[in-house]
Amino acid sequence: MHKLITGISVAVGLLSNFAWSLQMDQQQTVVDASRSIDYYGPLAQSFVPQSSQLAAIQVSLLDSGGALGEGSVVQLQLYSNTGQLLATSTTVELEDCFNFDAGPGCGLGGGTTVPVNFSFDVNLAVEPGESYTFELIQLSGTAVNAGYSYDDTYSNGDMILQGLPEQGDLAFVTFGPAPTIILVSNANQLLRYSTDGQLIDSETIDANPYPNNARDLVALDENRIAIFNGVFAPTLSIVDNGEWQHVSYSGWSTANNVSYGGLAFDESYIYATDMATAGEGAAKGVIRFEKNNPSVVERFLSDSAFIDITLGADGKLYALENSYGDLHIIAPQTMTTITTLDLGHNSGSRAVTADASGNIYMASWNGFVSVYNEAGVLQTSETFGGSLIDIDLQEDAILVTSRDGTIRLLDTSLAVTTSFNAPQGNAFAAFGYAQQAPPTQINYCESSGSNTNYEWIESFAVDNSVFNTGNNTGYVLVEESELVLEKGQSYLLELVPGFNYNSYTEYWSVWLDTNANGEFEVQEQLASGVSNSDIIATLTIPETAGSGETRLRVQMKYGGSPNACGTFYYGEVEDYVVEIQ
């Protein structure tokens, strides 16, 4: 049974090219053994997505062991159900014995698998409910194996060996992009909006010791948001589900201009602009905080002051030195300037960003959004009134804010697709990702037998799915039943008692929480029977049942019909986690 899991922020340390803003869609994580990608090739797995976009696929791999050798290069290809090649992932370079942190040691055996992420350059449009296949390709190097399960644990696809379906499933997870929202810093309020401008929620930004408004902000992941908080003695303020952390740095400062103060981040660091102001704030440059330990701070490029900084989609830092269009393009690995550009002395430049091709997008105090090529040559420009102060870019969407609090979403032609207003002026904004509410924990009422010395539920079967559970001393919960039930369908039930000495007349009830509200209601008792031997019955799933994961309860009681809840003396109860489709 596949399970749709949402709201998980993924951070797998093996590879650096894996996006943080993803949601799990499909998965099969059981590993019983492994197969060589080359020897069994083509080695593939079919699956059925529920998300309309595919961003990455994670596959459990391991070095096959043996003598030391070179590393390996592996790639993944995605095919439609007609065999058409749809996309090829980025190549993944695996060091020799890459998985042996989790195994017996390099050269001593295969060890255990580790998840390896194969991402695509763009999110792929896929059709929910249709079948797709991914194939692993080893381009070079020593042998690499893929983990798989012996059994067909993933019900919506098959492992494929040398072009033919094979029993079992590869261990894999597919990911789609997490939903995008707009984060706004406005008059010391953190606001979250949908991309059509509807306010989702708001919270107060924890105050800087100096009473100056918060500035730029970035979403570090689904839970953490970093904010440039204040001016003459700012703090890097990070909020994580309502918990705040504040980090200051000696000499860090920015002028009290409503549009100054920029933040950027990558996988390892958070970057903040620094200006020379009076008194203690005489230093300048770029302040760099370790992302996972912000108290570790360094200053770079101390010969220049900056008013805005961003990480372009090309992986370079773009830092505006002033309002006259002087731009530094910086290598984040070395924190050195690659080149400087002049975007126009009279531009009133306030904020910049860049796309994957190095095209530069600048927002100006004069009200223009201008696009320059990587050499700084103006390509196009559009006006949006006056006093623009911030800009952000995500794939084909551009986010621009202004001093009066207007927030605009533009497409790549600079046409407005959405416009709305923050409660007050001086709005900074960034693309973020919706925090997914954790699944509601449903606590079902307890039911069990107290004595199974004489009788118990020996087995329970739904069509060809048989659960030989035996004596569980009164109660058992089968969480990984892999049982999928379809609305409107009828299934053959077989209820088999187990007896220790003599056979007894047993009363059976089968309940299904069809609306997944955590209760077994009267109409949700779908089968019953009385016998001193096996019972054959029919289980019909109502057309009105909800979709998704829910609970099925099987009860066997001596001496009378059991209620859905409560304990009784002789007999047993079994609960099954099932999925309704």
Of the candidates 343, 349, 418, the one whose C-alpha atom is nearest the C-alpha of residue 387 is: 349
Q: Note the pLDDT of residue 109.
A: 57
Distance CA 543, CA 355 (A): 49
Q: Do residues 554 and 472 touch, judged by C-beta distance below 8 A?
A: no
How far does CA 34 lie from the centroid of its chain? Answer: 26
Strand partners, 47: 132
Q: Note the pLDDT of residue 66.
A: 53
pTM value?
A: 0.56
Domains (range + CATH), the chain = 22-177 (2.60.120), 180-433 (2.130.10.10), 447-580 (2.60.40)
Q: 117-170, pLDDT tens digit by residue?
A: 999 988 899 999 999 999 999 998 888 999 999 988 998 999 999 989 999 999
Phi/psi for 122 (5° steps) reads -135, 160
Sign, CA dihedral 530-531-535-536, equals negative
Q: Strand 566-580 and strand 447-451: pairing?
A: parallel
Distance CA 233, CA 211 (A): 10
According to the 3-state scheme, what is the secondary structure of 210-241? CCCCEEEEEECCCCEEEEEECCCCCEEEEEEC
Q: Indicate the SS3 state at residue 522.
A: helix
Q: Note the pLDDT of residue 390.
A: 97
Residue 311: both structure tokens together: 């990480």
Burial of 464 (0-12, 13-18, 19+ CB in 10 A): exposed
Regions of the chain short of the pLDDT cut 50? 1-20, 102-103, 437-439
Q: Note the pLDDT of residue 12.
A: 29
Q: Note the pLDDT of residue 280.
A: 54
CA geometry: angle at 11 spanning 411 and 4, to 5°?
A: 75
Distance CA 59, CA 114 (A): 8
CA geometry: angle at 159 spanning 162 and 165, to 5°?
A: 60
DSSP 83: S
Q: Note the pLDDT of residue 369.
A: 96
